[in-house]
Homo-oligomer: A and B are copies of this chain.
Amino acid sequence: MNRPAIILTSGGIDSTTCLAIARAEGHSPLFSLTFDYGQRHRQELAAAARVAVAMKVAEHRVIQIDLRAFGKSALTDEIAVPKDRDESKMSADIPVTYVPARNTIFLSYALAWGEVMSVRDCFIGVNAVDFSGYPDCRPAYILAFERLANLATKMTTSEGLPFRVHAPLIQMSKAQIIRRGAELGVDYSLTHSCYDPDSSGRACGRCDSCVLRRKGFAEADVADPTVYG
């Protein structure tokens, strides 16, 4: 059975687990789509490429996008990345690492590539931890994108087959995600989470992303393969 899927990947734990889930659900071939949006460090892109090779995707594409032109995010601007924050503090407000309309832009490109290849299944690794802070990670948002997609293209309107946005992690905690990935044989040493790695690429261990990652491995009772600086 031919059930191709596009997976949005970033080289992190969530999207890598998402890719493993798409594969476990029988989707094939798999296409991974990563965005180069002016991240301050390149380890994410390198991790996404390592994961694509390890997971044997049919095609890994990196799209350059220009979010930096609009500014306003620690991931792309020179705002300090907060360190050693308590998890409750992270979810209390929208993180400084928020990128405006990011998932809307990412999913739009996935829809475009999907239309060109007639691929109607798209996976995105948004989850409960994210959607406490990012509006475009909530279930209602994902449904609204699906509804839009099904009005937007030749593929969806003339062939009558729906475009689906799968968000299999959406109700999962970081620990649940890691446990599921470990069951599926994901090699998390290939992944990268840190917002502020040192010059040799080692994770800082203290930014929000590192704090959630460490806590996730601890709670999942899975050994954390990350080398922290």
Q: A residues engaging B (CB < 8 A)?
A: 61, 63-67, 69-72, 94, 98-105, 108-109, 111-113, 115-116, 135-136, 138, 140-141, 144-145, 147-149, 151-154, 156-158
A64–B61 CB distance below 8 A: no
Name which residue of chain B comes closest to A140, CB basis.
Answer: B151
A108–B116 CB distance below 8 A: no
Copy number in the complex reads: 2
CB distance from A65 to the nearest CB of B (A): 7
Indicate which residue in B102, B103, B112, B156 contacts A105 across the interface (CB closer than 8 Å): B112
What's the Cα separation between A181 and B61 when bound, in Å?
42
Main secondary structure of the interface of A (DSSP, over half): helix
What's the Cα separation between A98 and B147 when bound, in Å?
21
Having A105-B108, A148-B148, one finds 4 other A-B pairs with CB under 8 Å, namely A104-B152, A135-B157, A144-B144, A144-B148
What's the Cα separation between A101 and B61 when bound, in Å?
17
- Which residues of chain B are near A67, meaning CB under 8 Å? 112
A108–B104 CB distance below 8 A: yes
Do A112 and B70 contact each other (CB < 8 Å), given the known contacts A152-B136, A153-B135? yes
What's the Cα separation between A152 and B100 when bound, in Å?
9
Name which residue of chain B comes closest to A134, CB basis.
Answer: B154
What's the Cα separation between A65 and B70 when bound, in Å?
14
What's the Cα separation between A102 and B104 when bound, in Å?
13
A100–B115 CB distance below 8 A: yes
B136–A100 CB distance below 8 A: no
CB distance from A63 to the nearest CB of B (A): 5
CB distance from A70 to the nearest CB of B (A): 5
